[in-house]
């Protein structure tokens, strides 16, 4: 049996890593960019926020595009788009009038291009990955977040030391374009369309794809927004995003400026949260799949996510209170790792709930995540300036506690259907067998 589905998951791991390389590079070069254009931390926060806002508000439309055109084409266009805007970040001349506004505009454009990545990946999972493998598959995809963000400090610091900060953005742009071309070559939207997939793998995939509820493809935005489980996931993912973006936007600067570590040491210890993310994301997915199989999704999906986010709250609250900078970095990295134990559960749940609307539904959920990120990008330095960085991290920890509690309100058997407000369970689906028809190439939420 071929294993092309795992080749595509590996490809999405790479796309995920590069997308985070292209966004975290601004944080690594932030000190130099501030000096180049005379910006303050608050103004740099505006630049971070402009990216996250566009990334957030284009999530749902990007998900609809992924559902309509498939992940192969939309990810190719996405990588070309974000390659252009990444390069433009490094091409703004010194002394350019209103440089902060230009930087905000360019990073806004980058956010539009990158917004499609994870809704498209969830659409890929819905089509290609059997239910019993979805936790691990999503975990591997999001391990790319940690890998990309973790590679950024040493890679970007090396390029800056050798060729200057502007060159780092051009190099990142080229890497993204090359990755998009490779993706287009290896990917197809469904297993039956892929020339490298043999009959055994196609049959194996289809044997564990959830079945299609009649009328499911005729979903409306109202059906997605009215689903209480998607609403709960969106709220919890908002708190997740607030916490995660402290690491993506401010952690390197925190170590360098607040903890007084030099550039080289900051780059080294700045990798730790992202290494923890890369390890814990697939680990959390694997644990989630195993526990779901043995105890059901209430434990395997909801339990793992709730415990992970609650653990993150503890580590993030304690880390800034540790006196020694290097040890504080390790404790905070533990918080990032615990946070990412829950990552796979969010995306597995939306693919299982929404099926053919997985791209749009996960886009709505991820919009909540990115709104949280947009707020923390600007709010964290504001809180730090007035109340100190310890309190800035404390706000993040409190939100993580809220995010953990929210998982009590997630129904793992919820299903998105055409009639908003009706959420049949597995038992209901069995009793309504006449309304269910097999669909050989569509994973449509749950099993």
- Other CB atoms within a 10 A radius of the CB of residue 207 amount to 8
CATH class of the domain defined by 4-188+223-413: mainly alpha
User: How many Cα atoms are found within 13 Å in the side-chain-facing hemisphere of 170?
Assistant: 10
d(CA 181, CA 183) in angstroms, rounded, equals: 5
Average pLDDT of span 135-149? 88
What percentage of the chain has pLDDT greater than the value 70?
A: 91
Lowest mean pLDDT among 31-35, 117-121, 254-258: 254-258
Q: Mind listing the pLDDT tens digit for each residue in 360-409?
A: 888 889 889 989 988 887 888 889 889 999 999 999 999 999 999 999 99
Q: List all residues 6 or more positions away from 87 whose beta carbon is below 8 Å from its beta carbon.
A: 169, 170, 173
Q: Which of 46-50, 135-139, 223-227, 376-380 has the highest mean pLDDT?
A: 135-139
Q: How far is the C-alpha of 146 from the C-alpha of 168, rounded, in Å?
A: 19
In angstroms, the CA 135 to CA 286 distance is 6
CA dist 415 and 230 (Å) reads 10
Domain range list for the chain? 4-188+223-413
Residue length, the chain? 447
Q: If pLDDT is split at 50, 70 and 90, which confidence band does 417 have? A: low
Strands 212-213 and 436-437, by their bridges, are antiparallel
Which pLDDT value is given to residue 217? 53
Report how far residue 165's alpha carbon sits from residue 156's, in angstroms, rounded to the nearest whole number: 8
The label of the residue with tokens 């559960």 reads: 345
More confident residue, 27 or 287: 287
Residue 443 has a pLDDT of 33
- Poorest-confidence range of 192-201, 220-229, 312-321, 343-352? 220-229
Cβ(331)–Cβ(319) below 8 Å: yes
The single-letter DSSP state of residue 212 is E
Q: What are phi and psi of 214, to 5 degrees?
A: -60, 130
Greatest mean pLDDT among 105-114, 346-355, 422-431 lies in 105-114
Closest CA to 12 of 150, 136, 154, 170: 136
Question: Buried (b) or exposed (e) across 369-388, using 16+ Cβ within 10 A?
Answer: bbbbbbbbbbbbbebbeeee
Residue 100: strand, helix, or coil? helix
Residue 436 has pLDDT above 70, yes or no: no
> Two tokens at 292?
């779901």
Enter the tokens of residue 370: 């990115």
CA distance 177 to 84: 9
Is residue 221 scored above 60 in pLDDT? yes
Residues 6+ apart with CB under 8 A from 296: 412
Taking residue 93's Cβ as centre, other Cβ atoms within 10 Å add up to: 9
pLDDT value at 431 more than 60: no
**Average pLDDT in the chain:** 85
Residue 275 buriedness (CB in 10 A; 0-12 / 13-18 / 19+): middle
- The Cα–Cα gap between 269 and 253 comes to 11
Q: Is the pLDDT of residue 312 over 90?
A: yes
**How high is the pLDDT of residue 419?**
53
């Amino acid at each position: 049996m071929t294993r092309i589905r795992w080749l595509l998951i590996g490809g999405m791991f790479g796309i995920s890593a590069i997308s985070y390389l292209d966004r975290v590079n601004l944080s690594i070069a932030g000190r130099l960019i501030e000096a180049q254009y005379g910006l303050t931390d608050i103004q740099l926060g505006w630049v971070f926020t402009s990216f996250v806002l566009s990334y957030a508000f284009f999530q749902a439309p990007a998900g609809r595009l992924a559902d309509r055109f498939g992940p192969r084409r939309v990810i190719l266009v996405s990588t070309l788009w974000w390659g252009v805007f990444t390069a433009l970040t490094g091409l703004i001349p010194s002394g350019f009038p209103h440089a902060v506004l230009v930087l905000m505009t360019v990073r806004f454009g980058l956010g539009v291009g990158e917004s499609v990545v994870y809704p498209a990946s969830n659409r890929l999972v819905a089509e290609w990955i059997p239910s019993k493998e979805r936790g691990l598959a999503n975990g591997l995809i999001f391990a790319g977040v940690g890998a990309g963000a973790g590679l950024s400090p040493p890679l970007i610091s090396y390029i800056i030391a050798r060729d200057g900060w502007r060159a780092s953005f051009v190099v990142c742009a080229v890497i993204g374009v090359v990755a998009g071309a490779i993706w287009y070559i290896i990917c197809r939207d469904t297993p039956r369309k892929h020339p490298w997939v043999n009959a055994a793998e196609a049959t194996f995939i289809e044997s564990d794809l959830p079945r299609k509820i009649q009328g499911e493809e005729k979903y409306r935005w109202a059906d997605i927004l009215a689903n209480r489980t998607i609403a709960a996931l969106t709220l919890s993912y908002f708190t997740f995003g607030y916490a995660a973006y402290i690491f993506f936007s401010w952690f390197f600067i925190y170590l360098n400026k607040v903890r007084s570590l030099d550039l080289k040491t900051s780059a080294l210890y700045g990798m730790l949260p992202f290494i923890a993310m890369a390890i814990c994301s697939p680990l959390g997915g694997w644990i989630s799949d195993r526990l779901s199989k043995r105890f059901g999704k209430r434990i395997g999906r909801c339990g793992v996510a709730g415990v992970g986010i609650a653990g993150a709250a503890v580590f993030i609250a304690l880390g800034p209170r540790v006196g020694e900078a290097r040890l504080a970095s390790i404790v905070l990295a533990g918080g990032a790792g615990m946070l990412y134990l829950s990552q796979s559960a969010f995306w597995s749940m939306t693919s299982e709930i929404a099926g053919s609307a997985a791209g749009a539904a996960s886009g709505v959920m991820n919009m909540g995540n990115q709104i949280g990120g947009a707020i923390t990008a600007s709010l964290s330095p504001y809180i730090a300036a007035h109340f100190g960085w310890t309190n800035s991290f404390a706000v993040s920890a409190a939100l993580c506690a809220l995010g953990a509690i929210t998982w009590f309100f997630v129904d793992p058997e919820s299903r998105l259907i055409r009639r908003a407000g009706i959420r049949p369970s597995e038992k209901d689906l069995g009793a309504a067998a006449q309304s269910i028809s097999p669909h050989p190439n569509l994973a449509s939420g749950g099993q």
